[in-house]
Structure formats: structure tokens, C-alpha cells
Amino acid sequence: MLSKENRGLAVPLNLGFSAKGFPLVGTTPEYFEARNLLIESGTLPLRNGEVTLGYSCAKKLGLDTGGFILTDQVNLYDLSASYPIRLKISGVLEKSNTADDEALFVNLQSSWIIEGIGHGHIKLDENTSKENVLSESKTSITANSSLENYIEITDLNIDQFHFHEEKQNLPISSVLIFSSNFKDRTILKGKYNQHLSLQPLIPSETANEILNVIFKIENLLNASFILSGLAATLFLITLILLSLQLRKNEFKTLHLIGCDRLTVIFLYIGELIILITMSFILAFVSAVTLKKVLVSLII
């Protein structure tokens, strides 16, 4: 639908997967052209089961063209989820100093296979083990659930992979629109702004909005910290004055037994230094402990 409007290049993305902890992106060759991504070695992921690594990803994993990488399990707690797929590295991208350096790329069909929408089975014929056959007739053979799913796409089994839906009905996560001018971008955004299930986003504007919210929260917190500090300072001064008033007789007694006024002042300052030091130590320990707890809750 977006392509028919002819208001820019529409590039589909299928996200939500990873390999060795790096994000795995399902897309089309147009993505690399629109993002000005060049191949350092090998080729783009043109066939099912092939993957192209970003520059930093390849360096960190120590992998190169011709190697293999296993995808991460989509859902560890879903026993019915598809097996991880062993992908062949078809190429490595040149360094682009963008987020693409930290990602892996496959074609859309491979991403659907990783998602479990597409799969392949061992070919059934008269030589198939009886343990894998549920029923057999003169015209067909039906396999049971023990039949192994392929976890690697090779030249021998690539034809056995299939999808149970038409490709135009298979899911994608989002669509990148590379509009040719500001007018087309504005028209597209206005058209889909009130859509019930689609949300148009301009990455730079969205990032700026998020940053503005973060800075506003930061300013609010800084103001609250300053006010809290002033309140704590006033409270401390009040306590010191009240303590001096209540200990007036104590200071008079110290003066009568031979302590001069300067010694009494030093004694009182020493008490304050000890209290302040203990307070800072307690505050530091509490801050470190709370930081670890909050980080564990967030992550």
C-alpha cells in the first residue's frame, strides 16, 4: 500500500530476534541501499539461511564470511517455540559508525523461519522410518510430531522450507519510509496520524521529544534536590542552635571546672565533625546499596 502511493522508498523490517546477544534484523536489499551500507566482504543475505554481519558485530564475535552463527532462542519458556537456526555468514558490512555496525541482517523469509512461521521437514517417501509416520495411504504419507525440523538451511533442504500463509499476509514489525522530499513525508504522516493500528514516527523528532522529557525531569529533580538541601541545612542550623540552648548549663559547668571558652568551642566542633562524618559514611553506603537495588529492578 505504501509503495503504491509512490511517496518514497518503503523498506519492511521484521524485528525481535537476536544472535549471540546482537539484534537480528529481517529486511530487504533496499535497506542497505537507502542506508548507504557497503559490503566489505562477501554478499548481502539474498538466500534463506544467510546472514550479513555489521562491522562491529563481526569484530566482537570474531566471525567472517563463510562462518556460521546460531540464533538465540525466541522464547526460553515456550516449549512449542521453533528451534534456533544455524545461519551461514554471507558477508560483512563496512564500518558505517551507525547502529548498523552492531546488528545482523537476514532476508524477510529467514526472519519468518526464525520466528517459527516458516519451517521445513524431512522429505517423506517410502524410505521414511515407520517411527516418523502417523498414517500412510496409496496417495499420501502423514508424518507425526517426532519428525525433525531442520535447524540449518542448506542446498539440500532449502526447497523443503515453506510457509502456511501467503507472503503478503506474513507479519512485519515496521516499515521505514525514505521519502524524497518534505512534502511527501508530511502527507504520509498526516494520512496515518489517526490510523487505529499504525503509528507514524519520525525518529529524530521522537528522539528529541524523549530527550526533552528527560531534561525536564532532570531539571525538576535538580530543583527538588536544591530545595531538599536548603531544607536540610536550615533544619541542621535549627538543631545546632537548639542544642546550644539546651546545653547552656553543661557549658557553664565546663567553664567552672577550668575549661576556657575556646576549649568548649573545640569540643563542640569535634562532636559536630564526628556526627557529620558518620552521616556522610551512612549516606554513601545507603546510596551504593540503593543504586544496586534500583539497577537490578530496572534491568
pLDDT at 73: 76
Does residue 101 contact residue 60 with C-beta atoms inside 8 Å?
Answer: no
Q: Are residues 174 and 148 part of one domain?
A: yes
Confidence check: pLDDT of 29 > 70: yes
Average pLDDT over residues 4-21: 82
Which pLDDT score, from 0 to 100, does residue 213 have?
92
Whether 79 and 192 share a structural domain: yes
Residues of the chain above pLDDT 90, percent: 28
What pLDDT score was predicted for residue 72?
86
Higher-confidence position of 199 and 130: 199
**Domain edge (last residue) among 178, 201, 224:** 201
Residue among 296, 117, 98 nearest 203 (CA): 98
User: Model-level pTM?
Assistant: 0.64
pLDDT at position 126 is 58
CB atoms within 10 A of CB 129: 9
Same domain for 101 and 159: yes
Answer yes or no: do 124 and 178 share one domain: yes
- Judge if 194 and 215 occupy the same domain: no
Measured N-to-C along each axis, helices 261-298 and 248-256 cross at an angle, to the nearest 10 degrees, of 140
Q: What is the pLDDT of residues 235-275, one digit of tens each?
A: 888 988 888 888 888 888 887 888 888 888 888 888 888 88
Range of the domain at 161: 2-201
Which pLDDT score is estimated for 275?
A: 83
Range scoring the smallest mean pLDDT among 24-33, 108-117, 127-136, 254-263: 127-136
Same domain, 195 and 212: no
Burial of 40 (0-12, 13-18, 19+ CB in 10 A): middle
Q: Which of 201, 225, 253 is the last residue of a domain?
A: 201
In the DSSP assignment, the letter for residue 157 is T
Number of domains observed in the structure of the chain? 2
Distance separating alpha carbons of residues 124 and 141, to the nearest angstrom: 7
Contact 49, 85 (CB under 8 A): yes
Same domain flag for 127 and 22: yes
What is the phi/psi pair of residue 164, to 5°?
A: -90, 10
Q: What mean pLDDT value characterizes the chain?
A: 81
Report DSSP state, residue 255: H
260: left (phi over 0), alpha (psi -120 to 50) or beta: beta
Dist CA 40 CA 55 (whole Å): 8
Q: Residue 277, CB half-sphere, CA atoms under 13 Å: how many?
A: 6
Q: Tens of pLDDT along 196-228?
A: 777 787 888 888 999 999 899 989 988 998 998
Pairing of strands 22-27, 104-107: parallel
- The Cα–Cα gap between 19 and 74 comes to 10
Instruction: Give pLDDT tens digits for 275-295.
Output: 889 988 998 898 888 888 877
Q: Running DSSP on this structure, what letter comes out for residue 54?
A: -
Check residue 230 and give its pLDDT.
Answer: 92
Domain boundary among 152, 174, 201: 201
Look at residue 292 in the predicted model and tell me its pLDDT: 82
pLDDT digits (tens, 9 = 90+) for 149-207: 557 787 777 777 777 777 778 888 888 888 877 777 777 777 777 777 777 878 888 88
**CA gap 202, 189 in Å, rounded:** 9
- The C-alpha cell of 97 is what? 559508525
pLDDT at residue number 150: 52
Based on the fold, state whether residues 218 and 196 are members of the same structural domain.
Answer: no
Contact criterion met (CB below 8 Å) for 90 and 45: yes
